[in-house]
Structure 1
């Protein structure tokens, strides 16, 4: 017969071995470089944010997180996929809009200091099937911009997801020091795509080439310039510097006001960014006849005086 002492030794050995295996598995589930920034949870289904993340650190945080997840799981995860899988992040960023904050009696001098990921929240990690589904969604999503209507729309196939007011280029020619030439300021229409994102843009006055760091808001208050991504377009095969980016002065929306770029509200710019990864199709058109929600045909003002319309 097996002695009680031998049975006890066997049980102890099994317990010690099991503990060693569990520690090894848990260690492998936690990315090595997460450090104090975040903690891996739920067998790679989510991460727990362990400190407050401000906008100024937001992109570096996500880049580090995604790199760690991809290294450990071989998932084709991207920032756009992760955030679209956690849509509350977009809602949080949208609500950092200066004018949205002012409606809540909260003056924000420096938007970069705002917290967007709070300590204690979980970020869900999509699996391979969910990632594939989002990739297909991105491939069928496109931006539609009608210049004289001052509208940017986001479509998924034929389904309208969002509609935003915009400003477009002025109907004039002007010398711009940054290009060192007289430039046609009209927004150029045509078919193209998003070719780049500028996540921490520098602000320059294109007319004189001077960099600036603060802005005067519509309410006459001065603030630092926000950190919101700019979308770089390629239209008709040409990268002509025509960007999609936020304006700090929404009173200029629904006008031909810019130097050719397409301007949006700050909050809207976050939504557009996360629905338009690189290679998203962009259709910029100049259609003067528009059908409203009631089915009526509306004739828009010909802001550029174009006689022959090019779609």
Structure 2
């Protein structure tokens, strides 16, 4: 009698198991195995239960030459459990002290503190034990919305780059612009008008570990002569590529190691900034940020006073 009663129970269990396996194998999303389907389901449940704010502690010292790889590792690790798309720019803007730390690696800032920096890449960004915070959903949404409202504006003859959020001016930086001449550039393979071009467009690319080349000769530089006459290695600071009027013409926003040239038409067409300012601009200009490059001679200063400035390109 016991055997007879057990047989239907065993049969029913087997039927249920077969049905479950059949459902998972053939009714789960197309081309997914049971393992991948289970992993994705688990990932979604983890994302829903993940804490709104996550603190990340560095377990070793992070220098500038390791900095971007370290941020990428955080983004890759935590993007799947945040309720928003995590990115390097979002992470850093949620921890604004990082920008301040990077600004302080500027050669000329360190010089004011009686410190000579030969190789900026060896400077420390995160000491061991430093803490970064992943923002909660509310803060992340605010930052993502601010990215959409942010734009860059350059006025060539004024030698100014400004960062706006809607109509609010957040920053104003001195820049250098292209020279008023034409020259053969080996890197372009042709005669080039070096004047910085005007127009509207977007930020289309970041070069986080740029090479430095002389566009005239094509020669690569590994060191630079500073305004004080000292030689140092070139810093690792991102270059920002623009697309103006639908054309990528090689017009970049990037730092200069010779800030004595700021406020002048002295570049080969690019927009040059201080090293410290370049970090701020980079983190306020994620891919897709709008930019306007203007040539306005009629300007208004911070006090509301209007004036007409010099026509540098005539």
TM-score range, shorter chain: 0.7 to 0.9
CA distance in 1 between partners of 2:304 and 2:142 (Å): 33
Query: 2:305 matched to 1:296?
Result: yes
Deviations 1:200-255 (A, max 9, x none): 00011000001110000000000000000000000000000000000000000000
CA distance in 2 between partners of 1:186 and 1:43 (Å): 49
Q: Secondary structure at the match of 2:213?
A: coil
Contact 2:53–2:135 under 8 Å retained in 1: no
Larger radius of gyration: 2
Instruction: Find the counterpart in structure 1 of residue 225 from structure 2.
Output: 216
User: After superposition, where does 1:48-63 map in structure 2 within 5 Å?
Assistant: 48-63=57-72
Shift in Å, 1:72: 3.6
Instruction: Find the counterpart in structure 2 of residue 25 from structure 1.
Output: none
CA distance in 1 between partners of 2:57 and 2:154 (Å): 39
- Among 179, 185, 200, the alignment partner of 1:176 is 185
CA distance in 1 between partners of 2:89 and 2:59 (Å): 22
Instruction: Find the counterpart in structure 2 of residue 229 from structure 1.
Output: 238
Instruction: Find the counterpart in structure 2 of residue 86 from structure 1.
Output: 95
Query: 2:146 matched to 1:137?
Result: yes
CA distance in 1 between partners of 2:86 and 2:189 (Å): 41
Query: 2:79 matched to 1:70?
Result: yes
Q: Secondary structure at the match of 1:245?
A: strand
Shift in Å, 1:106: 0.5
Shift in Å, 1:44: 5.5
Instruction: Find the counterpart in structure 2 of residue 191 from structure 1.
Output: 200
CA distance in 1 between partners of 2:130 and 2:64 (Å): 16
Query: 2:115 matched to 1:106?
Result: yes
Instruction: Find the counterpart in structure 2 of residue 269 from structure 1.
Output: 278
Deviations 1:89-137 (A, max 9, x none): 0000001000000000000000000000111111011122221111100
Q: CA RMSD in A?
A: 1.6
Shift in Å, 1:271: 0.2
TM-score (normalizing by structure 1) = 0.84
Where does structure 2 lack aligned partners over 5 or more consecutive residues?
1-42, 44-50
